[in-house]
Structure 1
Amino acid sequence: MKFSIILTHLTERREPMVITQNGEAKAVLQDVASFEETQETLALLKILALGNQDVAAGKVKPVADVVASLRTKRATT
């Protein structure tokens, strides 16, 4: 199969292609748009996980305290 045909297939179908060697999956090829979406999703999941870790560790403040602090800072500038 020609590489240009593979690229067209990947771009149009937006489905990853698994590359095998001796019947064993060795690599995955995907279009750039799908890759970028995956990276954005992973980044968001990481942010959520970090936020959950902060909550579990008690590194949170009530919203009212944060708002009051911001208002105080704004009033002094």
Structure 2
Amino acid sequence: MNHARQRMRSRGINDPMVLETLRKGVIMRTPEPDMRAAGLRCVMERYVSGVNVGVVVLVDHPAPDLTVITVMEVIKG
């Protein structure tokens, strides 16, 4: 989570923006297996406070928790 926090600070993305992305965002890209851990790597995306926020998470089914890997601004184009 330290990596994600560093990226949030450097990109001007705050906790409420990340939480809204996780709660209401959509998965626009096909989830991929993670090479370092068991589970799938997914990118949740949502337009929040004028920024297209992407939150990369690790989903390890059936565990109910998500692991946030990194946070980014998604450039559409």
Tell me the TM-score range normalised by the shorter chain: under 0.3
Structure ranking higher on relative contact order (CA contacts 8 Å, 6+ apart): 2
What's the TM-score, normalizing by structure 2? Answer: 0.20
TM-score by length of 1: 0.20
Q: Which has the higher helix share?
A: 1
